[in-house]
Amino acid sequence: MTQKNGPGMYKVEPYYDFNRIPVELPTCMFKMASYLENSENNQEDPKLIELERRQEHILQELKSLENEVSTLASKLKPSADVIVTRQKDTALGSVIHDIVIYANPAQPLLSLGVLYEMLKVNYRCRSSVHIHSSVKSLPDRLWSCFSNGVELSRGEAQISLTLIWKDVSHGPIMMVAAPSQSPIHGEANIARYVARLLNPGYDATDPVRATTVDHWLDLATSSLVNGSSKEKAAGVRALNSRLGRCEWLAGPSISVADVVCWSALHGAGQAAGAPANVQKWLKACAGHSLFTMASGLVTA
């Protein structure tokens, strides 16, 4: 044995040379034939092409719809509510939509006749008049106030107006869906409801006009109906100055504001001594076709 412990007695080649021979290490435990490779062989499935085509088509349609909506939106602002109100329109449903109104025979609800005529323009309507057991007798003119014209059967009509003469003390009350609402009080609020029934996009299409209408409805309620004699006079003055400038109270045509103010003016007994502009307007109302039935109640 030599003491010389050199670099080594034997030079041994390393058993493996990792650098030279590439060793393939497995990346998965078991190798399987690719499942998807098969379909590649089958060419293109015609069903798939069809589906793809349809999707393209739908996307295209959606795009054009989007364009249409955006052009419409630029014309009519704001646009968001229009879609919402369209749903409301169909909410009338297949079954008759019955609006129940309680009114006191001592304060007949003049506006209702006009509102009913307005509803008749848009919908198939029927009406019925009842006396509640709290009222013992009723003048004939109130009995017959709605029963002119042909009666639709309940199954055919879309909207029914049920007027119940009842001993209610603070103005008329409206009920539509008992479980989901509390009673709606007052002539102006009934008119607000009817206006939205007539035009589901009421608040969206012309907010300025809607606000003007609201203003006059509030005036009718607070000054003409419930106000003191001083407030009533002030209300009539306000009407007079407005009607000096415009033909109708709100906008270019007749609106529920005219209807309720007209009714309130008659109810408060202010119609006879009204100033000139108001007189002119009252005359125009009386001549309007919608007012024919209601005017009968005033003169009687």
Partner 1 sequence: MSEASPAGEGAPSKKALKKQQKEAEKAAKKAERQAQQAADAEASEGEDYAKDRYGVSRMVQSHEKPDRKLVKVSTLNSDVADQTVWVRARLHTSRGKGKQCFVVLRQQQFTVQGILNVNETISKAMIKFTSGVAKESIVDVEGVVAVVPQKIESCTQQDVELRLQRFYVISQSVPRLPLQIEDASRPKGEEEEGSQAPTVNQDTRLDNRILDLRTQTNQAIFRVEAAVCQLFREALRKRDFVEIHTPKIISAASEGGANVFTVSYFKTNAYLAQSPQLYKQMAIAADFNRVFTVGAVFRAEDSNTHRHLCEFVGLDLEMAFDYHYHEVTDVIGGMFNDIFRGLRDRFPTEIAMVNKQFPAEPFKFLDPPLRLEFPEGVKMLKDAGVEMGDEDDLSTPNEKLLGRLVKAKYDTDFYILDKYPLAVRPFYTMPDPNNPKYSNSYDMFMRGEEILSGAQRIHDPEFLSERAKHHGIDLETIKSYIDSFRFGAPPHGGGGIGMERVVMLYLGLDNIRKTSMFPRDPKRLTP
Is residue 155 part of the contact set for partner 1 (CB under 8 A)? yes
Nearer to partner 1, 171 or 267 (CB): 171
Nearer to partner 1, 157 or 213 (CB): 157
Nearest distance from C-beta of residue 154 to partner 1, angstroms: 5
Residue of 95, 150, 208, 272 interacting with partner 1 (CB under 8 A): 95
What's the CA gap between 61 and 57, in Å, rounded?
A: 6
Query: Which burial class, exposed, middle or buried, applies to 284 when counting CB atoms under 10 A from its CB (0-12, 13-18, 19+)?
Result: middle
Nearer to partner 1, 25 or 177 (CB): 177
Is residue 256 part of the contact set for partner 1 (CB under 8 A)? no
Q: In what order do the strands lie in the sheet with 184-185?
A: 159-165, 97-103, 173-175, 184-185
Residue of 166, 232, 242, 266 interacting with partner 1 (CB under 8 A): 166
**Chain residues 105-124 in contact with partner 1, contact rule CB under 8 A:** none
Q: Which amino acid is at 70?
A: S
Is residue 102 part of the contact set for partner 1 (CB under 8 A)? yes
Which whole-number Å values give the CA distances from 8 to 11, 14, 124, 182, 286, in the listed order?
6, 14, 114, 106, 128
Is residue 154 part of the contact set for partner 1 (CB under 8 A)? yes
What's the CA gap between 226 and 39, in Å, rounded?
A: 82
Q: Which residues bind partner 1 (CB under 8 A)?
A: 93, 95-96, 98, 100, 102, 128, 130-134, 154-155, 162, 164, 166, 175-180
